[in-house]
Structures are given as C-alpha cells and as structure tokens.
Structure 1
C-alpha cells in the first residue's frame, strides 16, 4: 500500500502531499525533478496525470463528503 499521495487540484497552482500514515496534508514545496517534473509540466498544459489511483473526487467542502452525496 502507498504511504503517501502527491495531488494537484484542477484550477489551483501547486501540489499537495498527503501522508497516509500520519493523516496529514501539506503543500509540497520541494523542487520537482525527473519524471515528476515532467508530469508537472504536462499538468500545466492541461494533461491529466495519474498513477496507481483508482478513485479521486475534488469537493468544494468537507460537508459534501460527510453528506454521502456526490453530484458531479
């Protein structure tokens, strides 16, 4: 199982690092390099990049998730 997830939200600059073991989320501020930098450049051009994620939904608020409803 993955220990962390790096995510970007459409329309928002920057990336977020989710530590699944600690249950924390922080803005990712380290310099990107290699394949990660390449993927970030694709994202800047509007290309969706995903690897080993089988479900993700961006919500406007936490109450949307708590209500059990998803309206896309």
Structure 2
C-alpha cells in the first residue's frame, strides 16, 4: 500500500502531499481536473473526504502528538 496522503485543512484552500516513506510534505499544485473540482466543492461546503486512511488527527504542535495529547 502506498504511504502518500493528500491533506487539506479547514479554512484553507491549500492542499498538501505527504510522502511518508520519503519524509516529505509539499504543496500540491495540480492542474485543474473534474475530480479535484468536485473535492474542492465538497470541502468548501464544509464536507470531509476520506479514503484509505484510518487515523487522522490535527494537533496544534508535534509535541502534543508525541505526548499522546489529542483534542477531543
């Protein structure tokens, strides 16, 4: 299974690609596509798109994750 994820955060149109094996995170600046347009519209309406990821938690700082502190 691939260990690359595409990430977006509420309140931002930016989209990021995290390659876990390479240890990199880069902005995704794709050419417009019907699939990306549909996802952009879902996000703009407050929706969430999840596929093939079973854990994703946004934290304020990496120290929070390393200490096991997650907002609930």
Common topology (TM > 0.5): yes
2:44 alignment counterpart: 44
State the superposition RMSD in angstroms: 1.4
Larger deviation: 62-71 or 50-59? Answer: 62-71
* TM score, norm. by length of structure 1: 0.84
* TM score, norm. by length of structure 2: 0.84
**Aligned residue-pair number:** 72
Q: Which runs of 5+ in 1 are unaligned?
A: none
Q: Deviations over 1:39-64 (max 9, x none)?
A: 12211111111111111001111111
Structure 1 residue runs of 4 or more that deviate by more than 3 Å after TM superposition: none
State how far apart, in whole Å, the 2-side matches of 1:12 and 1:27 are: 12
State how far apart, in whole Å, the 2-side matches of 1:20 and 1:63 are: 19
Q: Which runs of 5+ in 2 are unaligned?
A: none
